[in-house]
Amino acid sequence: MGKEWLDGGYRCSVPAGALVVGVDRAGGEFEVALHRADPAAPGGMALVKSWTRRSPIGARELAYVRRRLAPDARWHRAGAKERPNTKAGGCRRCGQQVPPGEGSLTGARGAWTLVHRDELCPARPGMLESNRYAGPCDNCGGWVPAGAGGALLVDRSEPTADRGRRAARYAAVHRGTCPQDAPPGPPVITTAWCHDCGHRIEGGAGYWADGAHHTSPCPDSPPVAGPWWTLRHTTRGPVPPGQVLTVRFVPRPDQPPVPADGPGVRVLDESGYTELIAVTLDHLQRPGRRTTVQVRPATWSEAEPLLAADLRSALDARPPDTRYRARWIRERICGDKPWVAEITGRDPKFGLRRVFLREERDYEGALDDRGWRGVLFCWTLRTGRLYQASWPLDPPVGNWRKLRALDFAGRVTEERRALLQVNEDGDVVELTREQAEAHLSHGPEWIG
Q: Which of 88-102, 134-148, 398-412 has the lowest mean pLDDT?
A: 88-102
Question: Using 50, 70 and 90 to split pLDDT, how confident is the model at 164?
Answer: very low
What string of DSSP letters covers 239-288? --TT-EEEEEE---TTSPPPPTTSTT-EE-STT--EEEEEEEEEEE--TT
Q: Rounded to the nearest 10 degrees, how much is the dihedral formed by the CA atoms of 354, 359, 365, 371?
A: 90
- Each residue of 337-387: pLDDT tens digit? 999 999 988 888 888 889 999 999 888 765 555 555 568 899 999 988 899
Q: Rounded to the nearest 10 degrees, how much is the dihedral formed by the CA atoms of 59, 61, 66, 70?
A: -160
- Position 325 scores a pLDDT of 87
**Nearest by Cα to 360 from 350, 375, 382, 345:** 375
Burial zone of 234 (CB within 10 Å; 0-12 exposed, 13-18 middle, 19+ buried): exposed
Share of the chain above pLDDT 90, in %: 17
What SS3 state is found at 164? strand
| The pLDDT of residue 31 is above 80 | yes
The Cα–Cα gap between 291 and 239 comes to: 8
| The pLDDT of residue 230 is above 60 | yes
Question: Using 50, 70 and 90 to split pLDDT, how confident is the model at 428?
Answer: very high
**pTM of the entire predicted model:** 0.60
**Mean pLDDT for the stretch of residues 248-274:** 87
Of residues 359 and 1, more confidently modeled? 359
Q: What angle do CA 193, 182, 129 make, to 5 degrees?
A: 130
- Each residue of 107-143: pLDDT tens digit? 767 778 888 876 677 877 888 888 888 999 998 989 9
The Cα–Cα gap between 266 and 274 comes to: 6
**Mean pLDDT for the stretch of residues 268-281:** 88
What SS3 state is found at 430? strand
Q: Which of 11-20, 255-264, 271-280, 299-308 has the lowest mean pLDDT?
A: 11-20
The Cα–Cα gap between 407 and 421 comes to: 36
40: phi then psi, degrees, rounded to nearest 5: -80, -15
